[in-house]
Amino acid sequence: MPVPAVTADEVLTVLHAQWTPLVRLATLLVDDQESARDVVQDCYEAVLRLRPEVDDEAHLVAYLRRAVVNRARSALRRRGTVLRYLAKLRPHSAPPADSDLLTAEAHRELLGALDRLPPRQREVLVLRYYSELGEAEIARTLGIPPGTVKSTAHRALAALRRRMKDGTHEL
């Protein structure tokens, strides 16, 4: 007997309830709130247009998280391409005007070290500590085995500890 898919009303309820957590997740992955909102909006548009076959709200939330992670990866690839192109045009550009609006030094150091982790390690830590997901949920979100989540988190935390202890941010 086929499992009924979530209804349109349930989809809208989930989309409304998950907006803030998904924007926060995307912000930590792309490090820019406006881009993060775009990422989440693109995911919402795709969910509404494609109507993925999910059997309950929990699976829809996992689907949305995975979509946000994937679209954040794409946004970072596009950003890298644009930045490389702009660097060729203006090799000696000035820092952004808002560079003086920085958070506390320790927070900046942590975000800098987090940003320099390989993408998969950064994704696992963001999902675990900022989105507060368990290993099984992270595994479903990223499409990897739970053991890979554990080992990736372990390596990422070790790298962050080294960078924070040494005061360096290079990996």
Q: What is the pLDDT of residues 79-93, one digit of tens each?
A: 766 666 555 555 454
Mean pLDDT score, 160-169: 70
Is residue 121 helix, strand or coil? helix
Interatomic CA distance for residues 82 and 93, integer angstroms = 14
Interatomic CA distance for residues 76 and 82, integer angstroms = 10
Q: Yes or no: say if 139 and 146 are a contact pair by the CB < 8 Å rule.
A: yes
Interatomic CA distance for residues 17 and 139, integer angstroms = 22
DSSP secondary-structure letter at 41? H
Task: Specify the pLDDT at position 151.
Answer: 94
Mean pLDDT score, 96-114: 60
DSSP secondary-structure letter at 152? H
Poorest-pLDDT segment among 32-36, 59-63, 91-95, 150-154? 91-95
Domain ranges of the chain: 1-93, 101-165
Q: What is the pLDDT of residues 126-151, one digit of tens each?
A: 888 888 889 999 999 899 999 999 99
pTM assigned to the model: 0.60
For the cut 70, the answer to whether the pLDDT of residue 99 exceeds it is: no
Both structure tokens of 50: 């494609």
Task: Specify the pLDDT at position 101.
Answer: 42
Interatomic CA distance for residues 89 and 92, integer angstroms = 9
Q: Yes or no: say if 103 and 82 are a contact pair by the CB < 8 Å rule.
A: no
Q: What is the pLDDT of residues 108-122, one digit of tens each?
A: 777 788 888 899 998
Out of 3.40.50.720, 1.20.120.160, 1.10.10.10, 3.10.105.10, which CATH number does the structure's domain 101-165 have? 1.10.10.10
Picking from 27, 20, 117, the residue whose alpha carbon sits closest to that of residue 72 is: 27
